[in-house]
Amino acid sequence: MRLILNVLWLVLSGFWLFLGYLAAGIVLCVLIVTIPWGIASFRIGLYSLWPFGREIVAKPRAGVASFLGNVVWVILAGWWLALGHIFTGLLLCVTIIGIPLGIANFKLVPVSLMPLGKEVREIRRGGPFDATLERR
């Protein structure tokens, strides 16, 4: 199911959102001072290219520096990317098939506004051997 959702996502909105993050990352990396924000843009852009099966979690050690960096991010690129997610989510919600993808777009709005202090992780699928390995 994840594969089907990811392919639909890639075709309907993921590729265009990735291009937005890529453009923001390139501009931010050209300006030498904003390279950390460019790297964050690439990281979240790759997540927005293939999001199903992965999740964004807050880093436990993120503090005031991440907050201040996120304030700068919102001013430089975050609000444009958030508007892209909102606009794409609204367009996808027009069709019945696009509603789950539109909701996924709306879930990406907070991370597009505040990407610093977050990391992308694979979602572990519960298999028959996961419980056995965790007991050791």
* Pick from 59, 6, 49, 9: nearest CA to 25: 49
Q: What is the DSSP letter of 63?
A: -
Predicted local distance difference test score (pLDDT) of residue 127: 54
Per the CB < 8 A criterion, the answer to whether 15 and 88 are in contact is no
CA distance 108 to 123: 16
Per the CB < 8 A criterion, the answer to whether 20 and 84 are in contact is yes
Largest alpha-carbon pair distance within the chain? 50
Place 133 in a pLDDT band, splitting at 50, 70 and 90. very low
Taken in order 87, 93, 94, 97, the sign of the CA dihedral is positive
Asked if pLDDT for residue 134 goes beyond 60, the answer is no
Tell me the pTM: 0.79
Cβ count near 92 (within 10 Å): 22
Beta bridge partners of 122: 54
Q: What are the tens digits of pLDDT across the range 2-60?
A: 888 888 888 888 899 899 899 999 998 998 888 988 898 998 889 988 888 888 888 88
Predicted local distance difference test score (pLDDT) of residue 135: 47
Q: Taking the chain, what is the end-to-end CA distance rounded to the nearest angstrom?
A: 31
Predicted local distance difference test score (pLDDT) of residue 9: 87
